[in-house]
Amino acid sequence: MAIKRFADYETTKGYTDRIDLPKGGYVIEIKKAEAKENSKGQYIEILFDIVEGEYKGFYEKDYRSQTSEDKKWRGKTFLNVPLDDGSVQDGWTKRAFRTFTDALEASNPGYHFDWDEAKFKGKIVGGLFRAEERLYNGEVYTNIKIGSYTSVEKVRSGQYKLPKDKTVKRPGQASGGSINDFVSVPDTADEELPF
């Protein structure tokens, strides 16, 4: 017995092999930055791509290679805006926020942060990428994500220290991971490049 050929076999795209981004420092360009809010407060959604080195255009290539209808731009991070509530967590958030704005100013001569996130578009900055684990349906998955920022000069010269990997608590484990100053917000689907 022969199998029945389906109608759109010739035009149906198969799954492609995804290349993983290694941990490290990369010069990234901000493609879009937008202030948003959730139950935890205000945050900035930042879409970016790598613009120098072996992995230049990594996220655009990844996006274009996706064959499903719910394509996702994976070069995305979320930066909390401090609540200014005096809490320990808010102190960490303030330091993370200031680290980002200092790195942005150091990487873009003449730019001065003026509380307008729309002006981040087109700016370059050094992104320090670490491994981040997440637990889903009892399984641990690891992704490479931005853990901190630095100047592009430090990335270019290799004079940076990667942030600690973020791990999840496993059953029977006393404690898990490091503190993450970014908001966990689900990715959204986009038809075209989302900027």
Task: Tell me the pLDDT band of 18, cut-offs 50, 70 and 90.
Answer: low
Residue 116 located in a structural domain: yes
How far apart, in whole angstroms, are the C-alpha atoms of residue 27 and residue 124? 7
Residue 83 located in a structural domain: yes
Where in the sequence is the domain holding 45, given as residue range(s)?
Answer: 29-124
Residue 103 located in a structural domain: yes
pLDDT by residue (tens digit) across 138-191? 889 999 999 999 999 999 999 999 999 999 987 666 654 444 444 444 444 444
Residue 54 located in a structural domain: yes
Confidence at residue 67, expressed as pLDDT on a 0 to 100 scale? 86
Task: Tell me the pLDDT band of 137, cut-offs 50, 70 and 90.
Answer: confident
* Geometric angle at alpha carbon 78, from 74 and 82, rounded to 5°: 175
Mean pLDDT confidence for 105-111: 98
- Output the six-digit token pair for 132: 């981040």
Residue 163 located in a structural domain: no
Residue 98 located in a structural domain: yes
pLDDT by residue (tens digit) across 21-80? 999 999 999 999 999 999 999 999 999 999 999 999 999 999 999 888 899 999 999 999
Number of domains making up the chain = 1
- β-sheet with 76-80: strand ranges across: 76-80, 41-50, 24-38, 124-136, 139-150
Pairing verdict, β 41-50 and 76-80:
antiparallel
Residue 96 located in a structural domain: yes
